[in-house]
Amino acid sequence: MGESLGADGPAPSTEMGQGVRQFTLIDTFALSAMEFEARRPPNIVVAAGRERGFVRALLCSYDADSNRFSKESVLRMAATVLDRMPKMDEFKFTLISPVEATTV
């Protein structure tokens, strides 16, 4: 996943929350592009379940300090994509993002 910014950075949006940016996920297997919003750039996709031929995919960022993944966004992807994803035995996942944890 990459991010493309203009010379002045991303344009401010009144619809997105503070610190939220827009990203595009390009799926070269399914030949599709999906736009989504997130605070930090995700670097992993975690399949969380199937429904009606689609996979619920959690897009997560990684925090090296805490050695955990944090959910940034959720997308529905074609189930055929799941078969091509590498499998992991276990990983650490946090339900509260670091941004929310510091403001509470």
DSSP-based three-state secondary structure for 49? strand
DSSP-based three-state secondary structure for 103? helix
Q: What is the number of other CB atoms lying within 10 angstroms of the CB of residue 47?
A: 15
Mean pLDDT, rounded, for 73-81 = 86
Mean pLDDT, rounded, for 1-18 = 51
Question: Which residue blocks in the chain are alpha helix, DSSP H?
Answer: 80-83, 98-103
pLDDT tens digits for range 14-63: 455 678 999 998 888 878 899 999 999 998 888 888 888 888 989 999 88
**Looking at the predicted structure, is the pLDDT value of residue 8 above 90?**
no
Residue ranges per domain, the chain? 21-103
Query: Rounded CA gap, 98 and 63, in Å?
Result: 9
* 45-to-18, 41, 74, 79 alpha-carbon distances in Å: 24, 12, 9, 13
**Looking at the predicted structure, is the pLDDT value of residue 86 above 60?**
yes
Write the DSSP assignment of 24-46 as a string of letters: EEEETTTTEEEEEEESS---EEE
Does the pTM exceed 0.95? no
